[in-house]
Amino acid sequence: MILRHPIVRTFALLSCLGAIAACGGDDPPPPPVNNDGGGGTGGGTGGAGGAGGEEIVVWELDRDKPLSDVAPEFTEAPHPLEPGDVLSELDAPLPTNATWMNVALGDGDQRIHAAPYDLKALGQGLSISRPGVVVGNTAVTTADTSQLGLTVRQAVRGHIVRSSDLLSVTMEWSAQGGTMTAPIVYGMPYVTAIYDGLTPSVRAGDGVAFTEVNGGSTSPAKVTGDRFEIKLNNGQTWVLYASPAITLEWDAVVMNASEPYEGSLRIALLPGPNSAAVLDEHAGVIPVGGDIKATIIEDSASLRFVWATKGEGDLLTMALPHHLARLEKAQLADLSHPTVIGSMKAVTGNEWELVYPLSAIGWDAPRRVSDQWGEAIVEALDDERGFTPDAAVVGTDPYFGGKQLAKLARLAQIAETVGKTDLAEELRARLKSLINPWLNGTNANPFLYDTTWGGLVTTKGLDDKSADFGQGYYNDHHFHYGYFLYAAAVLAKGDEGWRDTYADKVLWLVRDIANPSSKDKHFTPFRNMDWFRGHSWASGLFPFADGRNQESTSEAVNAWYSIKLLGEALGDDDVKNIGRLLLAVETASAQTYWQIPANSTVYDVPFKDNRAVGVLWSTKADFATWFGQNPEYVYGIQILPITPISESLLSKKWVEDAWPAMSDAAEAAEDPWKAFLIAAHAVVDKEAAWEEAQDLVDLDDGLSRTALLYWIATRP
């Protein structure tokens, strides 16, 4: 949604930076490179420049408005993995990568992390734990354990997902006579079960025993009230709140009611001496769901979490480090919990506002190439003008083929930038011949529309869950499609005829990973993005004991950057601004949880000394990758691909602090990985990086020498 507000202000017009010094021959100079990327609808500001009246464009996310209602035209096919009874209350399209997917995959008994608690759907109800954080040399972990359970005494028919939204999932257990419902809202300091006609039972976990309730240590005993302070033999103290009051008979392993109950039980760990008073004050307000709202004004985004609640008073929630750095007018409370990704702090209020600066990086670097290197870049471009992706890969592999498409598109865009317009057109023509079969469904591994879960998958991926990196089971969609979307953005910008023909088809890929609306009948909203954690999850329909995971934040950033560029090329403000918003959110969390500068307080030593995370899970951080533990893999997978947006992602402070470790890794690395470390080195020392790049022989299949040199030569 676009709102236009006339204001009066003065501002300085910044002059555009010049072109490459050595364009060669009689080629015309390139168009000026400006900080909002040029082309399309670039920065949220309309109207005339200079002093006087001007229009400021305000964009608002409309969660009721799909990006398109055009149905995908790929062949339809059912998925071999049926959702099962646990998801029977939800209609397709279904979530596939959500934080809570473990309750719906496999036996549905693996843990999810609701921040700060780990939860499991087990037997008669909900298993709860808040284990300690263990910091090692190469991993930060938490034990997979059960400390308490909110359950029922009746025999239940298993659990179902009653509903879900972008900030929560609601689970339900049913038996003859009633239900127990658990609204699991991310950041909740209490775990809540709402009973409707079933008999509550609070159970101790494996190896855990109740030692004291409300100061009494003799059991069995009966206690009546609306607040129970419970001590466990593991040293923890929890508080159980009942509304209305309840009578429980307890012993070492269970606290049982004797009759069906209508009301709520809420349980919370007491992590510190002042936490009881805070929890007591806010126990009457229960979060039951939530949604996001977003507004963009120029180069700033306001992202708001709006919690749905029951009860009276101020809601209490918990904020992660990246929230705390961006919360506006936050009212903090004296309550905190450690997690794998840093300490959570309590916040009061039914709505949060997080403010994110938006990257001004557009199609090209926001500055000219250094004069001494302009000719070398043009020479590299001439050397690579004949690049043609591997025919055995580009039409069959959605990841490696996608990378090669994006490599070709990047060459075309650089050619355009340096004024080689004929070459840019030649490269785009080659690119069209390779991406069109994918979009038309005529390549050797065509996309299918999965009618079961609702999404685009490859034919091979649907036939074999291990093929295409699990793509058919919704692994890595944003990584894969991000490369296609970068290529499509370059084509849409440079070829009006192609844009008009393929706009809807390209939007199918956008909608698969970044659909904003539940009213899109074909794609689930924001498949990959976990708005509470502030980053994407790459894992799809595979359960893991450590929860969800994501490896390459830089490839996630590439997806959102590509959507932003595509929106500009299409003249579609919704596509562009959704890309800008996702880009800002993912970048911030990448810099908080994957990049580890020396002053980071997220991770403790010795893990902190690694300076990077390779794979981040719901409940674990690894200094490793899916394909090996070499340090160059860990650093490199957080850097590739190299495009102009890498400037926004690669924090200078991080590279400064990590470079000694990266440099050591580069010594032993093969050229394709060494190139990405050299690209990072350019952030802090472009002259040294330029010299290092001259010795490279082999490059990654998604990186051209032209793009690497252009990146180095345009560093500040």
Contact yes or no for 593/530 (Cβ under 8 A): no
Confidence class for position 53, pLDDT limits 50, 70, 90: low
pLDDT digits (tens, 9 = 90+) for 64-110: 999 999 999 999 999 999 999 999 999 999 999 999 999 999 999 99
Confidence class for position 229, pLDDT limits 50, 70, 90: very high
DSSP track, 224-265: EEEEEEEEETTS-EEEEEEEEEEEEEE-SSEEE-SS-EEEEE
Question: Over the range 346-359, which residues count as b (16 or more CB within 10 Å of their CB) and which as e?
Answer: bbbbbebbbebebb
Does the reported pTM lie above 0.95? Answer: no
pLDDT digits (tens, 9 = 90+) for 541-575: 999 999 999 999 999 999 999 999 999 999 999 99
Decide if pLDDT at 51 tops 50: no
Quote the pLDDT of residue 704.
98
Decide if pLDDT at 6 tops 90: no
Quote the pLDDT of residue 44.
38
Quote the pLDDT of residue 123.
85
pLDDT digits (tens, 9 = 90+) for 370-392: 999 999 999 999 999 999 999 99
What span, in angstroms and rounded, lies between the C-alpha atoms of 105 and 168?
A: 17
Confidence class for position 218, pLDDT limits 50, 70, 90: confident
Decide if pLDDT at 31 tops 80: no
Decide if pLDDT at 30 tops 60: no
CA distances from 31 to 363, 364, 412, 487 (A): 12, 11, 14, 20
pLDDT digits (tens, 9 = 90+) for 291-343: 999 999 999 999 999 999 999 999 999 999 999 999 999 899 999 999 999 99
CA distances from 483 to 397, 429, 554 (A): 12, 17, 12
Decide if pLDDT at 705 tops 80: yes
What span, in angstroms and rounded, lies between the C-alpha atoms of 590 and 122?
A: 33
Quote the pLDDT of residue 1.
42
What span, in angstroms and rounded, lies between the C-alpha atoms of 491 and 496?
A: 8
Nearest to 2 by CA among 65, 75, 54: 65
What span, in angstroms and rounded, lies between the C-alpha atoms of 378 and 453?
A: 47
Q: How much of the chain, in percent, has pLDDT values that exceed 70?
A: 93
Confidence class for position 666, pLDDT limits 50, 70, 90: very high
What span, in angstroms and rounded, lies between the C-alpha atoms of 476 and 400?
A: 12
Decide if pLDDT at 2 tops 80: no
For residue 71, give the H/E element and its range: none
pLDDT digits (tens, 9 = 90+) for 246-272: 999 999 999 999 999 999 999 999 998
* Single-letter amino acid, residue 96: T
Q: How much of the chain, in percent, has pLDDT values that exceed 90?
A: 90
Contact yes or no for 170/87 (Cβ under 8 A): no
Contact yes or no for 548/97 (Cβ under 8 A): yes
* Whether residue 287 has a cis bond before it, omega within 30° of 0: no
Contact yes or no for 546/528 (Cβ under 8 A): no
Decide if pLDDT at 41 tops 50: no
Instruction: Tell me whether residue 651 is exposed, middle or buried, using C-beta atoms within 10 angstroms of its C-beta: 0 to 12, 13 to 18, 19 or more.
Output: middle
- Mean pLDDT confidence for 189-195: 98
pLDDT digits (tens, 9 = 90+) for 625-657: 999 999 999 999 999 999 999 999 999 999 999
The phi and psi torsions of 665 (rounded to 5 degrees) equal: -65, -35
Quote the pLDDT of residue 55.
85
Q: Which two tokens stand for residue 513?
A: 């990973």
What is the DSSP-derived secondary structure letter of residue 468?
G
Residue with tokens 């849409």: 492
pLDDT digits (tens, 9 = 90+) for 331-369: 999 999 999 999 999 999 999 999 999 999 999 999 999
Q: Which two tokens stand for residue 127?
A: 């298993």
Confidence class for position 39, pLDDT limits 50, 70, 90: very low
Quote the pLDDT of residue 27.
34
- Mean pLDDT confidence for 273-290: 96
Confidence class for position 118, pLDDT limits 50, 70, 90: very high
Decide if pLDDT at 699 tops 60: yes
Helices 496-514 and 421-440 cross at an angle (nearest 10°) of 50
Quote the pLDDT of residue 576.
98
Quote the pLDDT of residue 578.
98
Decide if pLDDT at 22 tops 70: no
pLDDT digits (tens, 9 = 90+) for 422-442: 999 999 999 999 999 999 999
Nearest to 557 by CA among 677, 639, 653: 639
Quote the pLDDT of residue 35.
32
Quote the pLDDT of residue 129.
98
Nearest to 456 by CA among 47, 25, 17, 74: 74
The mean predicted confidence, pLDDT, of the chain is: 92
Q: Which two tokens stand for residue 333?
A: 């409370």
What span, in angstroms and rounded, lies between the C-alpha atoms of 187 and 129?
A: 14
